[in-house]
């Protein structure tokens, strides 16, 4: 009897937690289809179903361009950070060289610096490199954010791979590239997926640096900046805000569906050794 009551209490708590977690997402989607949402009259269930909010966001709001820019920035951030972090993690985990410990400490220290403290220094550097108002400059800045975490995390995955596997591949006549592609890469793939998720989130959701570096180039705005145009001084277009927010969420869901199989193992496997 006590066990049944305990299970009932747990079930109620889980249900409440699910409602608390999923309700904001439901409200966002429901309001995006509500014709009265733009005037602040949205309700729990849309009283008048419409697609006008999506049409306005994608046509007059120019959100298609913002979405394309975010996809470009996120794609190159994930790809470049993954390649560089993987090669750097192999270097610090497998090879002994001078100042290796100092480099690892520096990588760890960089993650402790608040991002807000780097706005002005990075702005000056990007300006001196003549990359202001460009997507390339934004990708470079996002790489500076994501690489320290990616290198530190992937180092644990590389260190967890037994050296004997690599030596066996060499004895079988494999070149370094063949060993890397056929032995090391498959074993550290879960860690690469986990770090790619972090890099993707940084590039997709970041607002402060995107606004600072792209302030003068509306055509290069990302979705994080494009969303703010639906907020006015005295009123907000909630229908457009919710429609744009729903559109922003779709690529994130697609990305997570693609990588979710290896994500759960990748989040903890690299902590076994390193």
Give the mean model confidence (pLDDT) for residues 119-132.
90
* Predicted local distance difference test score (pLDDT) of residue 273: 44
Q: Sorting pLDDT into bands at 50, 70 and 90, what band is 94?
A: confident
pTM for the model: 0.82
* Predicted local distance difference test score (pLDDT) of residue 263: 59
Over 231-251, what HEC string results? ECCCCECHHHHHHHHHHHHHH
Q: Give the number of other Cβ atoms within 10 Å of residue 1's Cβ.
A: 5
Q: Is the pLDDT of residue 224 over 70?
A: yes
Q: Would you say 186 and 30 are in contact if contact means Cβ atoms under 8 Å apart?
A: no
Burial class of residue 211 (count of CB atoms within 10 Å of its CB; 0-12, 13-18, 19+): middle
Give me the chain's average pLDDT, please. Answer: 83
Give the mean model confidence (pLDDT) for residues 141-169.
86
Q: How far is 272 from 23, CA to CA, in rounded Å?
A: 37
228-271 pLDDT per residue, tens = 888 876 677 888 888 999 999 988 888 888 777 665 554 444 44
160-200 pLDDT per residue, tens = 888 888 888 888 888 888 888 888 888 888 888 888 888 89
Q: Is the pLDDT of residue 149 over 70?
A: yes
Over the chain, what HEC string results? CHHHHHHHHHHHHHHHHHHHHHHHHHHHHHHHCECCHHHCCCCCCCCCECCHHHHHHHCCCCHHHHHHHHHHHHHHHHHHHHHHHHHHHHHHHHCCCCCHHHHHHHHHHHCCCCHHHHHHHHHHHHHHCCCCCCHHHHHHHHHHHHHHHHHHHHHHHHHHCCHHHHHHHHHCCCCHHHHHHHHHHHHHHHHHHHHHHHHHHHHHHCCHHHHHHCCCCHHHCCHHHHHHHHECCCCECHHHHHHHHHHHHHHHHHHHHHHHHHHHHHHHHCCCCC
Q: Is 37 left (phi over 0), alpha (psi -120 to 50) or beta?
A: alpha
Q: Is the pLDDT of residue 38 over 80?
A: no
Q: Number of C-alpha atoms within 13 angstroms, CB side, residue 111? A: 13
Q: Which of the two residues, 99 and 214, has the higher pLDDT score?
A: 214
Burial class of residue 212 (count of CB atoms within 10 Å of its CB; 0-12, 13-18, 19+): middle
* Predicted local distance difference test score (pLDDT) of residue 85: 92
Lowest pLDDT segment from 61-75, 94-108, 140-154, 254-268: 254-268
* Predicted local distance difference test score (pLDDT) of residue 145: 86
Q: Is the pLDDT of residue 40 over 70?
A: no
């Amino acid at each position: 009897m006590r066990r049944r009551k305990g299970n009932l209490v747990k079930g109620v708590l889980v249900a409440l937690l699910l409602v608390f977690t999923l309700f904001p997402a439901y409200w966002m989607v429901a309001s995006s289809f509500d014709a009265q949402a733009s005037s602040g009259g949205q309700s729990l269930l849309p009283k008048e179903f419409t697609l006008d909010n999506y049409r306005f966001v994608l046509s007059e709001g120019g959100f298609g361009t913002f979405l394309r820019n975010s996809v470009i920035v996120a794609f190159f951030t994930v790809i470049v950070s993954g390649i560089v972090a993987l090669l750097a993690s192999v270097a610090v985990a497998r090879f002994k060289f001078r100042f290796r410990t100092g480099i690892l400490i520096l990588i760890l220290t960089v993650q402790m610096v608040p991002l807000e403290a780097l706005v002005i220094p990075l702005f000056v550097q990007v300006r001196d490199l003549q990359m202001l108002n460009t997507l390339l400059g934004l990708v470079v800045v996002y790489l500076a954010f994501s690489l320290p975490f990616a290198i530190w995390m992937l180092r644990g995955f590389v260190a967890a791979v037994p050296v004997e596997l690599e030596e066996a591949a060499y004895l079988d006549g494999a070149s370094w590239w063949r060993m890397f592609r056929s032995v090391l890469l498959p074993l550290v793939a879960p860690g690469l997926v986990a770090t790619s998720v972090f890099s993707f989130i940084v590039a997709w959701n970041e607002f402060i640096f995107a606004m600072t570096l792209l302030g003068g180039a509306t055509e290069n705005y990302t979705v994080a900046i494009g969303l703010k145009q639906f907020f006015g001084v005295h009123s907000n277009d909630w229908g457009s805000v919710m429609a744009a927010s729903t559109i922003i969420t779709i690529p994130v869901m697609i990305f997570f569906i693609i990588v979710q199989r290896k994500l759960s193992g990748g989040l903890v496997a690299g902590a076994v050794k390193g």
